[in-house]
A and B are shown apart, each in its own frame.
Chain A
């Protein structure tokens, strides 16, 4: 093959990975840098920023708020997204096909538009912005994701398996709990991990729907705007490690297949 110039594929792969992980690497490096300015050369290494973070009440507060929102919104997203995926997989009707299109609309619209329109509605209805409005918005972003990931798993699903259970005497509920649910569990778990990570990183929806409380990204946003604050780098590094772990676990659990089919 004449096309194969030695090494170009590895140049592309290496270059892209360097580009993709450059900011991540720099953030990690700066989080250990003993300097108040973001710059090179690094003079000395320190864990001061992590210690500061540990003693920072705002960080704890918004961290807790973020985890609460992410956990509850993921549970709700799974509880409403999975049944919808089951309905879409079993029905061939025009109505269901229309709804399947409707369900992915939040993934196709810019988050800014979704966020400001929800804020406009809450304002019109005089709904005070609290934990619950942020939660509602986060579910809007994550439920369609669960729908897609579980739906992708269901596309290759062998419906003769629960049918076989029925023929062998299982009730509808038993067939679902003992056959369908265990087969779907990896996709649901993988989708849930993704939804949790996306909620933890959501910035735009939280910005427009929160009242007084800050999520972690909102805290980072406000600190970024005010002044140079190296604890942001420490926060970011913890974040990156956490989301990378989540991505690796999600991949282990549900496989890249689900993500690929979802896109």
Chain B
């Protein structure tokens, strides 16, 4: 095939015809390239989510799902039990997200501005920490926080305590510790990427102009990294509230989060329609909070741009 540019004598009509044909070919090839993934995700994400919505209006009678439409599941979702579970989820999710972001920010700051040698190796070590079996890690926390775990053995060995401390495990705190451990590497990346764009000279300028470390952080560094921080925060919030394995193993009997309640509806309790309604309520609450955070972060970084 000859290119249009290499054909100087082609009349205008032929040229137009060729570009026209070429743009159609281009469109067709784009459609062909995008089709497989589009179809796969439409069939296995979009359609199932729609079906989940339909399920949420059905009922279970004698362990059979009956296709009768009612709002009963939503009424049950707004019962005190599930609202308490949602509250537990949000407390766990928001504290995990906040702690994770503080650690990730401090870490990203230290790596960005204070590390000179071995930076790549350090970055690799941080990112690689997200690898490794997720369930095995939960298991390991029992060996760390449990009655005979690393912390209690150490405390008893140095005679700081006479017996094992029971409050280390099987409560909300243990759940949050395990979640933070899981998400720090993920939260680190967007914040670090933001900090890469922050020129150390800007911070130096703030200092020269008389801003103390706290003011410099609040008025210079935080607005510059608002987008990265918000991304990390929302990401951790979504995945921390969506987890049910960690509360199952480390959370103890009280303060069940929504994800664990939803999982049990699809598992042991076998009330899929109710589980579907709960999942949708949970998604809407989460979506609302994420949208608010996104708007807030967008406004902060825009205010800076002005």
Stretch at the interface among A34-42, A49-57, A181-189: A34-42
B259 beta carbon closer than 8 Å to chain A: yes
Please name the residue on chain B nearest to A144 by beta carbon.
B41
Whole-angstrom distance between the Cβ of A28 and the nearest chain B Cβ: 9
Whole-angstrom distance between the Cβ of B249 and the nearest chain A Cβ: 7
Q: Is the CB of A84 within 8 A of B38?
A: yes
Q: Is the CB of B133 within 8 A of A217?
A: yes
- Given contacts A105-B41, A116-B262, is CB(A263)–CB(B190) below 8 Å? yes
A21 beta carbon closer than 8 Å to chain B: yes
B129 beta carbon closer than 8 Å to chain A: yes
Q: Is the CB of A3 within 8 A of B213?
A: yes
Q: Tell me how many residue pairs across A and B have CB atoms closer than 8 Å.
A: 274
When distances are taken between beta carbons in the complex, the residues of chain B under 8 Å from A108 are 238
B207 beta carbon closer than 8 Å to chain A: yes
Within 8 A of A (CB), among B231-257: 231, 238-239, 241-245, 249
A19 beta carbon closer than 8 Å to chain B: yes
* Complex Cα gap A144–B41 (Å): 9
Q: How many residues of A contact B (CB 8 A)?
A: 94
A32 beta carbon closer than 8 Å to chain B: no
A72 beta carbon closer than 8 Å to chain B: no
Q: Is the CB of B135 within 8 A of A224?
A: yes
Please name the residue on chain B nearest to A80 by beta carbon.
B36
Whole-angstrom distance between the Cβ of B4 and the nearest chain A Cβ: 11
When distances are taken between beta carbons in the complex, the residues of chain A under 8 Å from B65 are 123
Q: Is the CB of A247 within 8 A of B34?
A: no
A86 beta carbon closer than 8 Å to chain B: yes
* Complex Cα gap A213–B103 (Å): 39
* Complex Cα gap A110–B235 (Å): 10
When distances are taken between beta carbons in the complex, the residues of chain A under 8 Å from B140 are 22-24, 26-27, 30, 236
Option from B132, B148, B184 in Cβ contact (under 8 Å) with A24: B132
Q: Is the interface of A mostly helix, strand, loop or mixed?
A: helix
Within 8 A of A (CB), among B93-150: 103, 106-107, 109-111, 113-115, 120, 122-144, 146-150
B186 beta carbon closer than 8 Å to chain A: yes
Within 8 A of B (CB), among A132-174: 136-137, 139-140, 143-144, 147, 166-167, 171
When distances are taken between beta carbons in the complex, the residues of chain B under 8 Å from A136 are 44
Q: Is the CB of A16 within 8 A of B184?
A: yes
Option from A83, A105, A119, A232 in Cβ contact (under 8 Å) with B34: A83
Q: Is the CB of B128 within 8 A of A248?
A: yes
* Complex Cα gap A33–B25 (Å): 64
Whole-angstrom distance between the Cβ of B258 and the nearest chain A Cβ: 10
Please name the residue on chain A nearest to B128 by beta carbon.
A247
When distances are taken between beta carbons in the complex, the residues of chain B under 8 Å from A22 are 140, 144, 181
Within 8 A of B (CB), among A196-246: 197, 201, 203-204, 208, 217, 220-221, 224, 232-233, 235-237, 239-240, 243-244, 246
A43 beta carbon closer than 8 Å to chain B: no
When distances are taken between beta carbons in the complex, the residues of chain A under 8 Å from B150 are 26, 40
When distances are taken between beta carbons in the complex, the residues of chain A under 8 Å from B38 are 84, 99, 102-103
* Complex Cα gap A38–B137 (Å): 14
Q: Is the CB of A111 within 8 A of B242?
A: yes
Known contacts A37-B148, A105-B41; can you find 19 more A-B pairs with CB under 8 A? Answer: A9-B110, A9-B111, A23-B144, A26-B143, A26-B150, A30-B143, A41-B153, A116-B279, A119-B266, A144-B41, A204-B245, A224-B249, A235-B136, A236-B132, A239-B136, A243-B131, A251-B124, A251-B128, A263-B186
CB<8 Å pairs between A and B, sample of 7:
A13-B115, A38-B142, A112-B263, A139-B44, A236-B140, A251-B127, A263-B186
Chain B residues within 8 Å of A, Cβ to Cβ: 1, 3, 6, 26, 29-34, 36-38, 40-41, 44-49, 51-52, 55, 65, 103, 106-107, 109-111, 113-115, 120, 122-144, 146-150, 153-154, 157, 181, 184-186, 189-190, 192-193, 204, 207, 213, 231, 238-239, 241-245, 249, 259, 262-263, 266, 272, 275-276, 279, 282-283, 286
